[in-house]
Amino acid sequence: MKKFLISIDTEGDNLWAWKTGDKITTENARFLPRFQELCEKYGFKPTYLTNHEMANDPFFVRYFKQRNLSGKCEIGMHLHAWNSPPDYELSIRKDVVPGAPYLIEYPKEIIFKKIESMTGILENIFEKKPITHRAGRWATNSLYFNALQQFGYKIDCSVTPGMDWSRASGQSPNSKGSNYTGFPKYPYIIEGTDILEVPVTIRENHRLKIGKKPGLRKAIRKIQEAKKGHGPLWLRPRANKDNLDDLLYLTDLVTRDKKAEYLMFMLHSSEFMPGGSPTFKTEESIEKLYENLTILFKKISLNYTGATFSEYYKEQYEPKR
């Protein structure tokens, strides 16, 4: 059976609203056991891509350390350059509010030191070396990947096929995000390394959305819209626009794709907490999230088995070498 990979960017509360100088809180850690227990019910094994503040949250460590060691989940690395040691002051653009820089904005030696530091922190705290990584704000380059290889990473899941983040500025002059237009949607070895890239599951949304008893003209227009596509579709729940039907459609689409070895779910840890993100602001929206997750996970369990990223790597890649 295909593998169901669950990737959770495990980070502080509502970082969308964070700016330099603000305190970063980690209350969302207390809301993660409910999600972990739902996953365990269906035999799924989340990978918590963990950043600096969450690695230092006592509740998060206490709850997930043993689960990581026993294989019920995986702790990977998610590096937010702006609050991962060592400190380094970048020059700041005059046209942006000082905020979240990309790791790739830093000098080479600082990039290596930040990766070395975060790797050591996670290994020391969770007593297991992390081998799976996702970049903060999705930004990568060859230098970054070479550094990851040096510190023992085997898997990266930062690539978002078809997505162009270059309009999203960093902190320093001329900085911008990565452009993944034209990148593969299936796994591949990153050039110049031995790291397996496991791209986020993203497909064009061609779902036909006609509705009940449409007129002929409306039906034709809806068919044309579906043929053109509604834009990129991730396996990522939303609250402001209930997208369960799209998630089920994407699940079916990937299940039928014979080349697709896995289906990847993505969410931020703070999205499981009411008000922890712009996405799910109320307790009601969280309850709706879990209602939809139960429907989605039940469907996925029919055709997929749960796996951490490291398990997927060992089963699907290592035997082929």
Q: Has residue 226 got a pLDDT over 70?
A: no
- Write the CB contacts of 310 (distance below 8 Å, at least 6 apart in sequence): 47, 74, 131, 132, 154, 155
The β-bridge relationship of strands 74-79 and 46-50 is parallel
Give the integer Cα–Cα distance in Å for 93 and 148: 28
**Which residues, 6+ apart, have CB-to-CB distance to 186 below 8 Å?**
199, 259, 260, 261
Direct distance between the N- and C-terminal alpha carbons of the chain, in angstroms, rounded to an integer: 21
Residue 293: predicted pLDDT: 98
DSSP H helical segments within 127-204, as ranges? 142-150
Res 131 pLDDT > 80: yes
Range of the domain at 49: 2-320
How many domains are contained in the chain? Answer: 1
- What is the spatial distance between Cα 219 and Cα 215, in angstroms, rounded to a whole number? 6
CATH assignment at residue 151: 3.20.20.370
Percent of the chain with pLDDT over 90: 81
Q: Please report which confidence band the pLDDT of residue 100 belongs to, taking 50, 70 and 90 as the band edges.
A: confident
159, 318 contact by CB (below 8 A): no
Confidence class for position 274, pLDDT limits 50, 70, 90 = very high
DSSP 8-state secondary structure symbol assigned to residue 23: P
User: Quick one: pLDDT at residue 216?
Assistant: 54
Tens-digit pLDDT profile for residues 79-90: 999 999 999 999
**Which three-class secondary structure state does DSSP give residue 243?**
coil
pLDDT at 210: 57
Taking the C-alpha atoms of residue 314 and residue 91, their distance in angstroms, rounded to an integer, is: 42
Burial 261-293 (b: 16+ CB within 10 A, else e): bbbbbbbbbbbbbebbbebbeeeebbebbeebb
Distance CA 89, CA 109 (A): 14
- Do 52 and 12 form a contact (C-beta atoms < 8 A)? no
Question: What's the chain's average pLDDT?
Answer: 92
Cβ-proximal residues to 302 (8 Å cutoff; 6+ apart), any chain:
none
Cα Dmax for the chain? 64
What are the pLDDT digits (tens) for 185-203? Answer: 999 999 999 999 999 999 9
Q: Which residue has the higher pLDDT, 263 or 100?
A: 263
**Contact (Cβ atoms closer than 8 angstroms) between residue 47 and residue 308:** yes
Give the three-state DSSP class for 192: coil
Average pLDDT rounded to a whole number, residues 26-53: 98
Supply the pTM of this predicted model: 0.93
The predicted pLDDT at position 222 comes to 56
Helices and strands in the chain, H and E counts: 9, 11
If pLDDT is split at 50, 70 and 90, which confidence band does 242 have?
Answer: confident
Residue 223 or 69, more confident: 69
Q: What is the pLDDT of residues 204-223, one digit of tens each?
A: 986 656 566 665 555 555 55
